[in-house]
Structure formats: structure tokens, C-alpha cells
Structure 1
Amino acid sequence: MNLYAFGKALVKGALSPLYRFEVIGAENFPKEGGILLCANHIHALDPPVVGMTAPRTVHFMAKEELFKLPVLGPILPQVNAFPVKRGMSDREALRMALKILKGGDVVGLFPEGTRSTDGVLKKGLSGAGFFALRGNADVVPCAIIGPYKMFRKVKVVYGEPLRMEPFRERKASADEVTEQIMASIQALLDQYSKK
């Protein structure tokens, strides 16, 4: 068992007794090809929860500071996370994400760039649209619906993939694509929050 699979099992074992996870739409996840997985961000547990519930291995962009932490730092690269500098153009992170997508794998990111303190979806950063357009990948929107309260339900909803080819053909901007991604996440939040 590789470290990613071990970590996934470990997270599932640690979190499943605390929260009632409901995964919806896993069948929407393409079985192959590059995928940009975009989710809303409401809690520090979002990355491991998405990694635990996604049907495929996810390579997460994580803020550079996390890689400097004593225990967590050395583990992150082993579970397919790679660092990104916040607040500036990080060419190395851009190259890494595009390489993963073009190699037919999954990159996970939270387009809001930071956690939403009130649970309301914020404006997405244009990087999401950039990766979707340049990475030869389609986008799977994901809605995480909490709150993370002990023994309460946490829903993780995977929507139908957004095909990027039409956007590429008409040379859509990264901002336009990001807006479409955020609208898809919002639609999932609207549809499943009340159920």
C-alpha cells in the first residue's frame, strides 16, 4: 500500500467516527484523463475529506507555509501535495499543476484561495480558470456542505464535469471560466444544502 492509500485509510478511520459523511455524485468523476477538481473551502479538514472521498488520487496545491511545519511538512509531498506561494505568481507551482493535468491525473484546488468564515462562497481566483484552460483537463465541481459538527452530517457532492473544449475553442478568458466553475459549485450548494 502506498503512502497516499495509507493516508486515505488513516483519515477515513480517524474522521468517520466523528462525522457522518455522505458522498453524492462520485459516479460523475471521470475514470481517466486530466481533471481539475474545484471545491469550496469551509474548514481545515476540507483537503483530507476531499482526498478521502474522491474516487481518484488527488494532487493538492497547498500553501507553502504548511511544508515548513515539523510533522506535517515532510508528509505532504508523500501524499501528492505540492507547495504554492500565496499572493504572487509561482511559476514552479504553475508548471507542476499543468504537468500533472497534462499527464492525465487530478489536481485539487480551492478557487476561493482561503477558507470562507461564514460558509458563503466567495469570488474565485482566476488561477482556476487558467489551469482548466491550459491543462487539457475538464473540471469537476465539488461542494462541501457542513457544518463540521461532531456526529453531524457532512456532505461532499461531486457535480458533472464541465467540458472545457468549448471555452478553449472560443478563447474564453481565465476569469470567465473561473466564474463558470464558481457558478457550478454554487448550484451544487443550492441544490444539496436543503436536502
Structure 2
Amino acid sequence: MTEPKPITEIWKPELVRLPKLTFARKLFRWFGHNCIVKLTANLCLNINVEGMENFPKTGPLLIVINHIGDADAVAVVSQLPNPPDALGKIELYDLPILGKLMDWYGMIWLHRGTADIRAIKSALDGLAENRIIIIAPEGRYSLTGALEEGSGGAAFLAYKSGAPVLPITVTGTENENVYGNLKRFKRAKVNIKVGKMLHLANQFSTRQEAVREGTSQIMAALANLLPEKYRGEYS
């Protein structure tokens, strides 16, 4: 039996907003992306990437990824040409040092397990500004290592904004693989696949039906990029 998806116990709606791209934040993002994220990825991971030709030159864009370990975001973001905006669980805000760094970067903080209207509006505002937003539609890292049921947030954002969806999958970032290799002073082998963009057309009579079908399309696109053992609910 699948464990229920987590519901945020921390409630800090005042922190949820679309970060303003001030000069200081742009500079911090550039430094973080090029000098921290890429360096960390190169030191800790041996990454192979396929399909970068599918990555568009401009936004708006909604990137959806599978989630199997702590290193997923670092692995994927390290391969992107520019630092994206990202939705992240509010629990990370309270982490020593890392939480503050993520806030300075400008996370769109999200209260999981609730209809977080502020987070949704912030992401929609970002897409309206032609930004690139990254989200993990499963809502947590998989407890089985394979795809779990997707939540409807990504499909809702795509339908509401009209932004294309770009599926990107990562394998090899399971915690036991990454941390196990680091203990032996080795880099974990990680594979990233960038799929073709999806355009979700709203041809349904109700929003619920559109989001349900859109979620199925998004998760199927992720599954098609993954080896069979990672497809889980979408085998």
C-alpha cells in the first residue's frame, strides 16, 4: 500500500511569493548556478545528458521532473543554460544555512498537501513573465524509486498559463547511490533525458477533467523517458 502524500505542518504563507529579479538576486543566481550548483554536480556526479536539443531558447516553460533523491534538482539544474525558478517545499526554509541560501535564490515556497493558492499564483505570474519554472509533479521523492501518482499542480499551471511543458527525467540520483559513492570518494553515474515539449490543449468540459487528463499526459511523458523499472504507476 502506498504511503499517503505528505501534508505540510509548517504554515508560513507570508514567505510564498514570486521572487523579484533584482540585480542582486540575478547576480546571486548566476553565482549559485555557475559556481555552486555546477561545481557540486561535477564533483559529486558523473552526468550523461541526452536530448538537450529539445530545450527551448526562451520561456515561458514549465519543466517537470521525476523525483528519486536529494540530488535530482542539482543534477538537472546544473545542465540548464540559465537558473530557473523552482517550487520547493516550505520545510526546506528552516534548514540551517541551506534554507537561507534557497530563499536568497528566490524559491517559490509551497505548502504541500493543500491548495496553496499563493504558490500557484506566484508560478502563474512567473510564467506570464516568460520565466522557466521547474516542478516535481509527484510532490515528494519516490518511496519506491519509481514513478508515483502525479499531482495535478503541473497540469493546472500548464492549462492556465498556456506554457509548454518540458519533461526531464533523471536516474542514478537515489540517495543510497549518491551518498554511497561519495563515501568511497567516487561519483555516482547519473543519466538525464530531456523529452520533447508538450502543449496541453484544454478540450474538456470541466477543469477537473482537463487537469486529470493533463496530469496523465505529463506523467506518461516522464515514463516514456525512463527505463521500465522506474516507471512505477505508469508502466
TM-score by shorter chain over 0.5: yes
1:7 Cα deviation after fit:
1.2
SS, match of residue 40 in structure 2: helix
**1:65 shift after superposition:** 1.3
1:108-135 deviations in whole A, cap 9, x for unaligned?
Answer: 0100001113211111001111011012
TM-score, length basis structure 1: 0.89
Matching residue of 1:130: 156
Report percent identity of matched pairs.
32
DSSP-derived class of the 2:56 partner: coil
2:70 maps to 1:44: yes
Aligned-pair CA distance for 1:73: 2.1
| Deviation, structure 1 residue 170 | 4.9
**Alpha-carbon separation, structure 2, partners of 1:139 and 1:55:** 17
**Which residue pairs with 2:190 in the alignment?**
154
Q: 1:178 aligns with which of 209, 215, 220?
A: 215
Residues 141 and 158 in structure 1, CA contact (< 8 A), matched pair in contact too: yes
Structure 2 unmatched ranges of 5 or more: 1-25, 182-186, 231-235
Which one of 94, 119, 144 corresponds to residue 93 of structure 1? 119
Match of 2:202 in 1: 168
Contact 2:41/2:78, CA 8 A, preserved across alignment: no
User: Per-residue CA shift, 1:122-170, capped at 9, x if unaligned?
Assistant: 1100111101101220000011011444223101111010022xx2255
5 Å-filtered alignment, 1:19-30, equals: 19-30=45-56
Runs (4 or more) in structure 1 with deviation over 6 Å come to none
CA RMSD of aligned residues (A): 1.8
Q: TM-score, normalised by structure 2?
A: 0.75
In 1, Cα distance between equivalents of 2:156 and 2:43:
38
Structure 1 residue aligned with 2:61 = 35
Q: Is the 8 A contact 1:22 1:156 kept in 2?
A: yes
Instruction: Give the Å deviation of 1:78.
Output: 2.5
Answer with 149-158 or 87-96: which moved more.
Answer: 149-158
Per the alignment, in what secondary structure is the counterpart of residue 22 of structure 1?
strand
Q: Report the Cα offset of residue 27 of structure 1.
A: 1.5
Q: Are 1:17 and 2:40 an aligned pair?
A: no
Contact 1:76–1:82 under 8 Å retained in 2: no
Kindly indicate whether the alpha-carbon contact (under 8 Å) linking 1:141 and 1:160 is maintained by their aligned counterparts in 2.
yes
Given that residues 58 and 80 in structure 1 are in contact (C-alpha distance below 8 angstroms), is that contact kept between their aligned partners in structure 2?
A: no
SS in structure 1 of the partner of residue 127 of structure 2:
helix
